[in-house]
Amino acid sequence: MSEPVNNGGKPAPAPGGKRQQEERRKFLRAAVVGTGVVGFSLAGFLPVLEDDHGRRLRPPGALDEKDFLAACIKCGQCVQVCPVEAIHPADLWDGFGVGVPFIDPRKQACDFACDVGQCILACPTGALEYRKPAFLAVRPGAQLPAPPVLLAKENDPNPTLQFKERMGVARLDRPDACLSVLGKGVKGPARGESFRGLKRYTDVDRWNPVRVREHPYDLERCDLCVRECPIKGAISIQADDTGRLTPTVHAECVGCGVCQMMCPVEPAAIVVDARGTWGGA
Amino acid sequence: MGRRLEDFRRMLGAEPRRPEPGDYSPGARQIHDTKRLKKSDFDALKQVAVKHRANKRWRRRRWTTLIVVNLLFVLSYWLDVQLVEGSLSGSRFLGFHMIDVNAALQLMLAHKHLITNLLIGTATIALVWGVLGGRSFCSWVCPYHLLAEWAEKLHLLLAAKKIVKDHPLHRGLRVVLWALFAVLAYGTGYTVYETISPTGILSRAMIYGPGVVLLWIFALLAFEVLYSRRAWCRYMCPVGLTYGVVGTVSPVKVSYDLSKCFHEQDCRKVCLVPHVLDTVVKGRAVTEIVDIGNDCTRCGLCVDTCPSGALHFTITGVTKRRTGE
């Protein structure tokens, strides 16, 4: 019995030189294309390097920015569970942060309409956590003085939110534009008729957020940032040295951004510094 | 065992090895000998044997599955039915965690910490694809695969008109990229590959709306149409390699029947990974029945295409074997 032979199917074998040349070409093409792909992926470093501390407001319970980008699997489960649709996955411009969730508080802040931080419960990888794992340090000033009390459930057996660190801190950015400081009032919807933002008003509906534009105000002096703040004791109106009534942020502030969303002035007089710490930059 | 190793070698980019004379089983040797007839006799034999007509049955089933799976993700968010929450990189199916194995690998390397939910989800998915055949994920679920199939059609059309030409890349590139992205994740502390993963990008775009990042997908597709056929899935995608390893011992596979094969190699022309079908080359099959290796995506195009029904799906332990190994 002789061995089976290979005489069909394949085209006639090319001369050794030509075959080798094709192999070399394949290799060179692979090297060039591979370099291109890795190069493109590494370009994702640029937006991250530009701002190491994170310019994005992340959902509550997010790890520190670098750990957050490492631990987030970009699945968007947090996006899906948010009742006010405050969370969105980022686009190409975020580089390594593409697909990572963020909050644009001016458009739609997190008002904890879910009562517990559904996004934290939904996160499968621990990128959003009530309590950081022990091996990750807490930045000074990021720790909240006490578990934040959610006004909407103040009468519940446990009125607190369970996370330990703030998302950021609110700051009165433009006191000269602040309606309270100027002694001006608000009549009608806080952000105009076209604003699509949602908010939970416990006196309207405990469980279903409504459009802010469907909840008009009639205030002689604006105090929306204080009135609508979902956290107990996070902000109050104080008279400053000159007697001007100024919104003043306290250590209880979790940085949710509701004040920034509700501020009737354009651009907002009060803003949240994402990842801001108490008493720090 | 030797064949498993050979499958791995091939998946990692090596050219298929021609069998040694001693590798052939007596049965296979006999069939190979039968086929060494005069051309007229061979053709006569073929006439008798050809029963299977080329069709699109498996492609239809596969495309339907792929579209339904991706639609489930989209609709369960849009209609808020909470059947599958999340996207392909990570989800809850009726509450059970499911985590993409490659994404989990990147994440653990970058984060350097293990989370219980993550491990549970990864183990679940590894088990699912370990049974269903790792790379079945590619052709039955990955949305990029479907787009790439359409781009491939365009490429072949243009190639037939001699407008474009296929430029193959070295298959070892995928292994290099896999290793590089693993090193980068560990070294930089970022999940670098996830930035460019077409699977993740497309899945998110469908569920949460499109973004500028889709330009990357268009660039990849354009590259495949104009320059290199199926370049991403064939030569580059690290996810494919990860799932290839996951599915190594899967009982679900495409099986080749030497006695029915007339070595026309139509299967290799439609195959995404033709190196797994090296065994259909005349004289290469060392046993009468040969299981196609772990780099096979179980897409079934070869099963549909084979004019003589020499290729079919089998499930070890379920499908009855005609002959032994």
Q: Tell whether B151 and B194 lie within a shared domain.
A: yes
Chain B residues 18-47 with CB within 8 Å of chain A: 18, 21, 24, 29, 32-33, 36
The domain boundary residue, chosen from B195, B217, B246:
B246
With CB atoms and an 8 Å threshold, state whether A4 touches B263: no
Kindly state whether residue A2 falls inside one of the protein's structural domains.
Answer: no
Calculate the average pLDDT of chain A.
Answer: 90
Residue A146 has pLDDT above 70, yes or no: yes
Q: Tell whether B241 and B256 lie within a shared domain.
A: no
Kindly state whether residue B184 falls inside one of the protein's structural domains.
Answer: yes
Confidence band (pLDDT; 50, 70, 90) for B323? very low
Q: For B117, name the nearest residue in chain A, comparing CA atoms only.
A: A124
With CB atoms and an 8 Å threshold, state whether B107 touches A70: yes
In this complex, which of B192, B207, B263 lies closest to A44 when CB atoms are compared? B192
Q: For B223, name the nearest residue in chain A, comparing CA atoms only.
A: A33
A250 exposure class (CB count in 10 Å sphere: 0-12, 13-18, 19+): middle
Whole-number Å distance between alpha carbons of A137 and A134: 7
Q: Give B264's contacts in chain A (Cβ within 8 Å).
A: 9
Q: What's the number of domains chain B is made of? A: 2
With CB atoms and an 8 Å threshold, state whether A34 touches B173: yes
How distant is the alpha carbon of residue B266 from its chain centre? 17
Minimal C-alpha gap between B209 and chain A (Å): 9
With CB atoms and an 8 Å threshold, state whether B201 touches A126: no
Q: Give the HSE-up count for residue B18: Cα atoms under 13 Å, Cβ half-sphere.
A: 8
Kindly state whether residue A49 falls inside one of the protein's structural domains.
Answer: no
In this complex, which of B92, B118, B177 lies closest to A37 when CB atoms are compared? B177
Q: Could you tell me what percent of chain A has a pLDDT over 90?
A: 80
Q: Which two tokens stand for residue B247?
A: 């599915």
The domain boundary residue, chosen from B203, B221, B246:
B246
Kindly state whether residue A9 falls inside one of the protein's structural domains.
Answer: no
Confidence band (pLDDT; 50, 70, 90) for B192? very high
Q: Which two tokens stand for residue A241?
A: 């040295």
- Residue position matching structure tokens 């290469």: B284
Kindly state whether residue A176 falls inside one of the protein's structural domains.
Answer: yes
Q: Tell whether B233 and B90 lie within a shared domain.
A: yes
Calculate the average pLDDT of chain B.
Answer: 91
Q: Could you read off the pLDDT of B30-39 as tens digits, one per residue?
A: 888 887 777 7
What pLDDT does residue A2 have?
Answer: 42
Q: Give B261's contacts in chain A (Cβ within 8 Å).
A: none
Q: Which two tokens stand for residue B225?
A: 């149409």
Q: Tell whether B84 and B232 lie within a shared domain.
A: yes
With CB atoms and an 8 Å threshold, state whether B168 touches A26: yes
In this complex, which of B117, B204, B208 lies closest to A124 when CB atoms are compared? B117
Confidence band (pLDDT; 50, 70, 90) for B20? confident
With CB atoms and an 8 Å threshold, state whether A70 touches B97: no
Round to the nearest angstrom and report the end-to-end CA distance of chain A. 85
Q: Give B183's contacts in chain A (Cβ within 8 Å).
A: none
Q: For A136, name the nearest residue in chain B, comparing CA atoms only.
A: B113
Chain B residues 176-205 with CB within 8 Å of chain A: 176-177, 180-181, 184, 188-196, 200-201, 204
Higher pLDDT, B45 or B27: B27
Chain B residues 73-92 with CB within 8 Å of chain A: 77, 85-87, 89-92
The domain boundary residue, chosen from B197, B225, B246:
B246
Cβ–Cβ < 8 Å for B166, B225: no
Q: Tell whether B20 and B94 lie within a shared domain.
A: no
Q: Give the HSE-up count for residue B231: Cα atoms under 13 Å, Cβ half-sphere.
A: 23
pTM of this structure: 0.89
In this complex, which of A41, A89, A95 lies closest to B208 when CB atoms are compared? A89
Q: What's the number of domains chain A is made of? A: 1
Q: Tell whether B118 and B215 lie within a shared domain.
A: yes
Q: Could you read off the pLDDT of B233-274 as tens digits, one per residue?
A: 999 999 999 999 999 989 999 999 998 898 889 999 999 999
Cβ–Cβ < 8 Å for B184, A83: no
Pick the closest to residue A164 from A33, A83, A254, A258 (CA basis): A254
Residue of B170, B171, B199, B206 to mutate, interface with A, max A Cβ within 10 Å: B170
Q: Give A74's contacts in chain B (Cβ within 8 Å).
A: 87, 89-90, 103, 191, 194, 200, 204
| A229-246 mean pLDDT | 92
**Directed axis angle between helix B143-160 and helix B198-208, to 10°?**
110
In this complex, which of B111, B173, B188 lies closest to A71 when CB atoms are compared? B111
Kindly state whether residue A28 falls inside one of the protein's structural domains.
Answer: no
In this complex, which of A4, A122, A124 lies closest to B121 when CB atoms are compared? A124
Residue B316 has pLDDT above 80, yes or no: yes
With CB atoms and an 8 Å threshold, state whether A42 touches B36: no
Return the HEC string of chain B: CHHHHHHHHHHCCCCCCCCCHHHCCHHHHHHHHHCCCCHHHHHHHHHHHCCCCCCCHHHHHHHHHHHHHHHHHHHHHHCCCCCEEEECCEEEECCEEEECHHHHHHHHHHHCCCCHHHHHHHHHHHHHHHHHCCCHHHHHCCHHHHHHHHHHHHHHHHHHCCCCCCCCCCCCHHHHHHHHHHHHHHHHCCCHHHHHCHHHHHHHHHHHCCCCCHHHHHHHHHHHHHCCCCHHHHHHCHHHHHHHHHCCCCCEEEEEEHHHCCCCCHHHHHCCCHHHHHHHCCCCCCCCEEECCCCCCCCCHHHHHCCCCCEEEEECCCCCCCCCC
What pLDDT does residue B231 have?
Answer: 97
What pLDDT does residue B322 have?
Answer: 53
Kindly state whether residue B203 falls inside one of the protein's structural domains.
Answer: yes
Q: Tell whether B136 and B273 lie within a shared domain.
A: no
Q: Tell whether B99 and B143 lie within a shared domain.
A: yes
Q: Tell whether B177 and B297 lie within a shared domain.
A: no
Confidence band (pLDDT; 50, 70, 90) for A11? low
What pLDDT does residue B237 have?
Answer: 96
| Domain containing residue A97 | 55-133+144-274
Q: Which two tokens stand for residue B159?
A: 């190639």
Whole-number Å distance between alpha carbons of B46 and B279: 19
Q: Tell whether B93 and B153 lie within a shared domain.
A: yes
Q: For A135, name the nearest residue in chain B, comparing CA atoms only.
A: B113
| Domain containing residue B288 | 2-49+251-315
In this complex, which of A33, A70, A76 lies closest to B191 when CB atoms are compared? A70
Minimal C-alpha gap between B189 and chain A (Å): 6
Residue A280 has pLDDT above 80, yes or no: no
Kindly state whether residue B155 falls inside one of the protein's structural domains.
Answer: yes
Phi, psi of A221 (to 5 degrees): -130, 130
Q: Tell whether B94 and B43 lie within a shared domain.
A: no
